[in-house]
Amino acid sequence: MRRILPLLLAAAALATAPLSRAQDAVPTLTQDDAIRLALQHNKNLIVSSFGKGISRANLLAARGQFEPSLYGNRSGSDTPAQANTGLIGVGLIPLYDYRIDNYAVGIEGLTPIGTKYQVYESSENERFSFYGYSSDYMTFGGFQVTQPLLQGFGFDANLQQVRIAKANRGISDWAYRGSAITTVTNVIVAYSNLLLAHDQLDAARRSRDLATTLLAGNEKKYKVGDISQSDVIAARAYVALYEEPILIAERGVRDSQNSLRELIGEEVFHEDEPLFALVPPAVPDVTVNLKADLAKALELRPDYQQARLGIVKDRVMEAAARNALLPQVNFVGGYGYNGYGSTLSASRQMVDNHDNPSYSAGLEVTIPLTLATGRGTLRAARLTREQADEDLRRREADIAVAVATAAGQIETTRKRVAVDQIAYDLALKALDAQEKKRLAGTSTTLEVIQQQEAVSSAQSAVATALASQRQAVAVYDQTLGTTLERHDIKLSDD
């Protein structure tokens, strides 16, 4: 079973280590490492990659209908001729025996404009019993063509499957790109969530450490009689209250890491797996230009391009249905040479010598009386294409809203980080001032505890805002379809 052991060389020594972001000799996993591993091992992406090969195989099969075929046949029949005597007890009496042997070999095929052709040689040997079954060969060598003149004529009617297969190939390529974009985006979000989980665990532990320090100070002051026992009890209760948030935060770290490990291809998830040492990535500098961004999204978004190729398929179906509504008028003709002889070689030699040229020409006409099937098929194809056109316009409106929303989140999360950082810095200063007042006897334990909670809340807000900012950029790139370009990822054309 595939594991990422190269990244976990220190796993055994750290199997029971406490949850922490500051471990020594722990496996380091950067966001770029996670993206690279996901592109290699993510199961959804692997499944999606098969679509490309399937679509190319189907295109090969569609083109194969225009490849010529070599054929041959050999058949024989024996037909006795009998007569009824009309005499009671006599019944049928044999007159003669008639035997025929047929041989044929040739090449046949279809062209993109609908021409069916055969280049062949055939021979028939007729033998009768009253001639002693002597051979009588009739050989023909030449060609025959059937060319539709209305229904079945032209590229629209005959390249339907090829054009659909080409569109499906493009759709599968865009689908794979979309799957890659989704995978990379999910990895970035999961990596950011894991960073946030570690930050929340650090905040919980820091708050407990502050409460423990406060408790130790209160116990010392209580021993010398500077404060009452209630202050010690309040500090001790505050320390106890932070045990549960730490347990919850530890669980959050483990669950977040498992989510990331699944994205990068892991299959087994043990509780004693070592934790990654993470490297917070820099937040990319994004310049928002709504008009240019919308144009880029319409050019690069896989779902939009798949919808456009879907309309291409609908137009192909509509064109084929329109052609099928025409009367069926076919030109049928042929040209070749005949040979006759008592042996096959003699009759074939006459064909080779072009002794007896022959030709044929004619028309085959078929006109349905009601055209109900053709009219219904064409109407359904036209409505399907019109529905797809309307759906594409709806999709464009949805993309415009999504681009505006994603761009707005870029600016909002940037401001959140700035204001939350200011609030955190001020909370630290306020805590320091409150501690000094407590030491001077002008503040209570409860006031210090309240300020410590404000610091913890502000620290958590900063971590959450940073995670939201990283994720906002990832969603923005996904909305524009530029995720792969942002991370210099090039997909194979195979």
Q: Looking at residue 15, what is its pLDDT?
A: 34
At residue 342, φ and ψ (nearest 5 deg) are -80, -10
Q: Give, rounded to a whole angstrom, the gap between the first and last alpha carbons of the chain.
A: 27
Rg (Cα) of the chain, in Å, rounded? 41
Residue 29 near residue 278, CB atoms below 8 Å: yes
Instruction: Please state which CATH number belongs to domain 5-41+163-312+384-486.
Output: 1.20.1600.10
Residue with tokens 């209570």: 444
pLDDT over 70 (residue 1): no
Using pLDDT thresholds of 50, 70 and 90, give the confidence band for residue 13.
very low
Residue with tokens 């594409």: 392
Q: Looking at residue 211, what is its pLDDT?
A: 85
What number of residues does the chain have? 494
Q: At what angle do helices 243-263 and 229-241 cross, to 10 degrees?
A: 20
Q: Looking at residue 40, what is its pLDDT?
A: 94
Beta strands in 342-414 (DSSP E): 356-366
pLDDT over 50 (residue 8): no
Verdict on whether the full-model pTM lies above 0.85:
no
Residue 65 near residue 73, CB atoms below 8 Å: no
pLDDT over 80 (residue 248): yes
Structure tokens belonging to residue 139: 């050989």
Structure tokens belonging to residue 472: 């906002």
Distance between CA 174 and CA 52 in Å, rounded?
A: 9
Residue 48 near residue 179, CB atoms below 8 Å: yes
Q: Looking at residue 91, what is its pLDDT?
A: 56
Range of weakest confidence among 65-79, 106-120, 222-236, 291-305: 222-236
Strands 28-29 and 69-84: unpaired
Q: What percent of the chain has pLDDT over 70?
A: 91
Q: Looking at residue 444, what is its pLDDT?
A: 78
